[in-house]
Amino acid sequence: MSLHTIGKSTIQIPNLTLGCMSLGTDEKAAIQIISKALDQGIIHIDTADLYDFGKNESIIGHFLKHHREQVVLTTKVGNHFNSKTKDWFWDPSKRHITSAIHDSLARLQTDYIDLYLLHGGTVDDPIDDSIEAFEQLKQAGIIRAYGISSIRPNVIKEYMKRSNIDAVMMQYNMLDRRPEELLNDLYEQQISVLARGPLAKGMLSSKALHYAANKGENGFLAYNAIELQSTLTKLLALGIPLEQLAFQYVLHHPAVVSAVFGASNETQLMENSQYLHADTISNELYKEIQHITKSSTYTMHRL
């Protein structure tokens, strides 16, 4: 199994990552999914302190207690929440980041985080304050690397200029090509991309047309309902399982080191994990997909 290095760090992960947001709160079932993923070679798991208001981290912690050295762990911070009232607010301050990580460490039953991500961000944030928090945690050995989870170009560019981030997590798939304007720049600066949502909530799967129909008249992002159905029909006509094509497409650019997919049951996990060793897509097919789909730009929150 080939592994890919995250940024300038020494962390290595496979080209598929298990996103844990959709695991649910049934601890036994969730741990079975994580365990099965590890058996398949998916050693990188992604969570966040806000997922189920800490419950997700706690479930993962019960698994990590016996498997910590086998797992590369990513979690996120920035949402100041109350697990009892289910209220939260955005808080990227140094004070919150350096405090919240200790809660995450306790829930995860570990003394370090491999990759720690800011769970969002705007240009109005105290960015230097946030960066200082991550740098101090890294120097203390509490985290191995840090980055941000955002698709806002202006925010990403500020962190590219002002920090030593190793990774950016962005929603990226064949129907949402907004991150592509940044991929070359990120690659040049040795900042790795983790592509979340590669299957576009099922629209890039064997049930593509069913999920697309459920979107109704609004369609999806830059696609109206008719365009969405037409585009998916053309992608299906390529004769390659759409799940495979979806993973191959986002992993084609060298900036993208891993595709982050979710699984709420073992069947979904096994269906997707088979593409851990899928061949790379040809340049010709990559260009054909780009011709079929729309190139889009993130229009909000730009400088």
Active-site residue set: 51
Other C-beta atoms lying within 10 Å of the C-beta of residue 197 = 20
- Name which of 125, 114, 112, 45 is nearest 79 in CA terms: 125
| C-alpha to C-alpha distance for 208 and 236, rounded to whole angstroms | 9
- Cβ contact 235:207 at 8 Å: no
| C-alpha to C-alpha distance for 99 and 133, rounded to whole angstroms | 10
| C-alpha to C-alpha distance for 269 and 247, rounded to whole angstroms | 14
Bridge partner residues of 174 (DSSP): none
The tokens describing 185, both together, are: 């720049």
Contacting residues for 58 by C-beta, under 8 A, at least 6 apart: 107, 108
Contacting residues for 198 by C-beta, under 8 A, at least 6 apart: 172, 173, 204, 246, 247, 250, 259, 260, 261
